[in-house]
Amino acid sequence: MPPKKLLVFFSIFLLNFSFVLSNNMNFDFTSFNLRNITLLGDSYLRNGVIGLTRELGVPASSSGSLIYNNPVPFFDQETNTTASFTSRFSFSINNVNPSSFGDGLAFFISPDNQILGSAGGCLGLVNSSQLTKNKFVAIEFDTRLDPHFDDPDENHIGLDIDSLESIKTADPILQGIDLKSGNVITAWIDYKNDLRMLKVFMSYSNLKPVTPLLKVNIDLSGYLKGNMYVGFSASTEGSTELHMIQSWSFQTSGFRPVRPKLHPHNVSDSSVVVETDFPTSNSTNKHHNKIGLGLGIAGPAFFCVVLAVFGYISIKKWKNMRTGICLRADLVPGPREFSYRELRSATRGFHSNRILGRGAFGNVYKAYFASSGSVAAVKRSKHSHEGKTEFLAELSIIACLRHKNLVQLLGWCAEKGELLLVYEYMPNGSLDRMLYQDSENGVLLSWYHRLNIVVGLASALTYLHQECEQQVIHRDIKASNIMLDANFNARLESSFTLTAGTMGYLAPEYLQYGTATEKTDVFSYGVVVLEVACGRRPIERETEGHKMVNLVDWVWGLYAEGRIIEAADKRLNGAFNEDEMKRLLLVGLSCANPDSSARPSMRRVFQILNNEAEPLVVPKLKPCLTFSSVSLTLEDIVSEDEESD
């Protein structure tokens, strides 16, 4: 065979091979991390398990979703084929209070990757005010009888299409399965498009039963169009039911590759077939045997060459990485490694006119990448790196964080003895600059934006404290570490081991013992809340005289006198809802309580701000705490802090 034809042969082979791989999709989570999934609503990740609803006190409600990030192709236009699919997952439904149960969970397929419905009987699939808005194919695992959706009982599964009124239901008790038992249950959902058949199997073990629990003759090709998203949702209403997803695998099948054919008159034809006449003479057969032998040798040789080239490139890249500081090899695939040269060019040699701000970590520069036309913020460490091990260990954790109210880490660089971090660029800068700038020359944050900021920050801290695979204590929550995106949404910046906190935001027990906990973060959050509501810094000097005024003490004093509303930022000129302002100020005081045991969790704060839980009772007089060692006055602390700067 001539070299050109041999090359065509291998090209066609590789094209066919890649085509087959690209059509059918599969993934398998034996345990979960945050790399390929999105969590919405109240869902959270803990110890490799996804919780879809939270442990709340009755009569609170909860709903949450888990969605696989990548869309799944269910329809192939080339062959007009709808995919078959199978999904296997293990879950448990448990009740903290045995007498409190409902409402259940659902596996769904939807064109929407932001599907998060209402709590209660809506199973997190639909909104109670717009029951027909969301489109989906779902298998529900229902633990409450809801007459509104024509439920048969409080322990059933069902097939739902664009509605929570099931097309067909089945009772798991028939196979000895109680959905609310708290035991781990494994479910298999199989759909065969050629048979127009959907089956659901369930078992307490990992062995798939022979007989399906639910069997439905149905054609889903009209609903599985194009790319769709797969996931789970769950909800509760006035109950303590917990819905946990332990593991999950999913795969599609049934797509047949379009066989390429070589057409002599139309080389642009997308389908190519190699047409060859094979003579039957012995001499020709021998010739073909030689060709076959040649292909048998050339084929493996070709792939060996490819592997060798790939190996060479990989080793070269590995050696280049080793020339810098050795970052952990398992750092999340999302953030990329930038070269020092690339960041130096993007910041014009770290020019002073590119400085956006200065912090404990170092200077922050505005970076413009000419190749992509994108803008980012680059933090350049000013520290020597004796604590490099702790820093890099924490960087690997921060790289895993994904939340809409966190500033996203885009990449890193570890060269020339420096550590540089690349973050999203926030066009509205930091909260403190926006909050304290001259209102005549800048933008005054409206009451709507202020509420949105504190709610977003509460959501981010709830995620860090209780929903991450590994809990993160921020340690330096303050207005200058809260960035504002183009829509004035709060985006909390990540903190590192090097950070020791900032005076005015530090909890009393942290000043005394130097130990950071969830509750020290809550205290700092409370100070920020009061800043946002009052438009005053945590520590200020009086207008007349030199006495220092602590914001928490000042607001608590007004509260004790029944005049807490007077703490509101005067620049708002009364343009706020008075009840909302009072609630926000009381949230700030309850978080900034000197007694750490009396402070709420961030989850509770988030619920209060969303009117999902009652506010805590705040004592009229600020509690006093005493420590064994000598305590410093406010003036002493501030003067020491100023000298250290």
Task: Please give the positions annotated as active site.
Answer: 476
What element of type H or E holds 107? strand 104-110
The CA radius of gyration of the chain, in Å to the nearest whole number, is: 30
- Helix, coil or strand: residue 411: strand
- Rounded to whole angstroms, the Cα distance separating 63 from 519 reads 26
- Enumerate the H helices of 502-564 as residue ranges: 508-513, 518-534, 551-560
Answer whether 229's CB lies under 8 Å from 36's CB: no
- First-to-final CA distance of the chain: 77
Q: In which region does residue 417 sit, left (phi positive, over 0), alpha (psi from -120 to 50) or beta (all else)?
A: left
**Residues 138, 139, 145, 147, Cα dihedral to 10°:** 40
Pairing state between β 336-337 and 409-415: parallel
| Angle (nearest 5°) at CA 280 between 278 and 282 | 120
Token digits for 197? 């058949």
Smallest Cα–Cα separation from 143: which of 125, 159, 162, 120? 120
- Rounded to whole angstroms, the Cα distance separating 423 from 433 reads 19
Q: In which region does residue 349 sit, left (phi positive, over 0), alpha (psi from -120 to 50) or beta (all else)?
A: left
Answer whether 591's CB lies under 8 Å from 536's CB: no
482-485 long-range CB contacts below 8 Å, 24 or more apart?
Answer: 482/430, 482/431, 482/432, 482/453, 482/457, 482/528, 483/407, 483/426, 483/428, 483/429, 483/430, 483/431, 484/426, 484/428, 484/429, 484/430, 484/431, 484/434, 484/453, 485/424, 485/426, 485/427, 485/428
**Residues 423, 363, 476, 482, Cα dihedral to 10°:** -50
DSSP state string for 416-446:
TTEEEEEEE--TT-BHHHHHHS-TTTSPPPP
- Rounded to whole angstroms, the Cα distance separating 507 from 523 reads 6
Token digits for 156? 């059933």
Answer whether 592's CB lies under 8 Å from 523's CB: yes
Question: What are 490's strand-pairing partners?
Answer: 484
366 is in an annotated binding site: no
Answer whether 258's CB lies under 8 Å from 20's CB: no
Binding residues for ATP: 379
Binding residue numbers: 379
